[in-house]
Amino acid sequence: MQKSSKCHDATRHRLAVIPMSLAIVIMTALPASAQQPVSMNQVNASLFGANVASIPDVTERAIQSVVNVKSMKKAPDMSEQMRALQEHPFFRYFYEGRGANPRGGQPAPGEEYQNSLGSGVIVSSTGIVLTNNHVVAKADSVKISLNNGDEFECDIVGTDPESDLAVLRIKKAPANLVPMKIGDSDQLRLGETVLAIGNPFGVGQTVTMGIVSAKGRSDVGIVDYENFIQTDAAINPGNSGGALINSKGELVGINTAILSRSGGYQGVGFAIPSKMAMAVQESLVRKGHVSRGFLGIGLDDISRDVAKALKLKGGRGVSVTEVAAASPAVKAGLVAGDIVTHIDSEAILSARQLRNRIGRKAPGTRIKLRVLRDQKSKSLVATLGTRPGDEALANTQKGKAKANGRAGMELEAIRKSLKERFNIHPQVNSGLVITGVAPKGAAARMGLKPGDVILSVNQSKVSRVKNFEAALQKSEGDVLLLVARGRRIDYVMLKL
């Protein structure tokens, strides 16, 4: 989302032209005997409601609570070879006066800082700022600047990559901070007017206007837990972490991402609802991490053909592919093969939607599930547990194979953190990741290495370590593996 794009002063034009066009409609709609001059306040009231004086009034109040965020990460140190190269006369000739010597200029390679610009929202007079995780991820230092230009250093209180939210605390926060009023994002209606405030492209605070285009977008694929508000208010790189406000100047969303072919605004922007954002913020401030509900099931979407065969109304439902031992799902009576059609009377259309619904609930919450089993509908009640962390979840649910085993490799079920760690291709979303290889084991002899992903064993898909181990036990000789490495997918015969 950080691609460059040509900027222009569209904001002022939009805020000026749109109300005027509406003013013309209002004036011409009145009977001839009732036509009177219409003021801008009347036009704004027609857009934002009678209780709000005008768009500028709302903006002037809200903009005081939106900050620019600058995160800095020190560039990696130069290698010994690079240090030697820096002393070479040829190198010094080109970098003379540019930081390669004490005379100043630009910093030499290895001495630079990588900067990331974004936005944030003050949500407490004590100096708590809500922003996106991707704005401050892996930062060595973070600074924010207020609307009046005052700049302050910040501590990172906590981050939640799974929702792309982060909480900052201003060091030596001034007494005159203006926290933004928090609105109820659940009350937003389609077509409702909203304003987006942020720092696009680092040009400075900018306000754009649009409407709520959609709610509850949960299959965008940006983060693990999604429930986005979609808006056509112009959002661009640098707006991340900024405010989406309603007609009362209340925070209803944290601007997060756009769908774009060019890297710039194309009419589809996404914001994290304030209700979800504030729950994450409260948890990060209070505990330093986010506790999410945990049911303990594996899920998969149902194809149209299967839905038709099962006579699922509207193709609704997701299949339960596995149930973790001693999990809340087991206690509730769920079994692999069940089709979950509803949660708390809400129809379920996708596995991601069900996962999001469970993840947004607190541990200890009782939920009602409606499942289809053997062509019969059943109602079950489950009490959610606490979702383990990534490592614990992988080890308790999926298992972990040791590198000194029969295959000579360590395996873990694929997940986001492993994909990032080994730079696994984005389209590889299932299988077992090789995280370690014994130097003289069977895997090493066949050229397998950490980061490879095993997609199938003997032409059967594999997603759990215990299934892989079971396949090895059944095989007395060689095992056929389908392995993904980068963009390539190849068969490998593992000779045991």
* Distance (Å, whole) CA 449 – CA 33: 83
φ, ψ at 172 (rounded to 5°): 50, 55
Q: What tokens were used for 282?
A: 């409260």
> For residue 175, what are the contacts with CB-CB under 8 A and spacing of at least 6?
none
The SS3 call for residue 147 is coil
Catalytic residue, candidates 160, 164, 232, 452: 164
The SS3 call for residue 459 is coil
425 is an active site residue: no
Cα angle 60, 61, 66 (rounded to 5 degrees) comes to 90
Catalytic residue, candidates 65, 134, 160, 185: 134
134 is an active site residue: yes
164 is an active site residue: yes
Give the residue from 385, 369, 365, 386 showing the smallest Cα distance to 377. 369
Catalytic residue, candidates 240, 247, 283, 327: 240
Are 130 and 281 in contact by the 8 Å Cβ rule? The answer is: yes
Give the residue from 398, 373, 401 showing the smallest Cα distance to 388. 398
DSSP strand pairing (251-258 vs 206-217): unpaired
* Distance (Å, whole) CA 217 – CA 194: 17
The per-residue DSSP string of 41-59 comes to HHHHHHHH-TT---HHHHH
The SS3 call for residue 165 is strand
Active site residues: 134, 164, 240
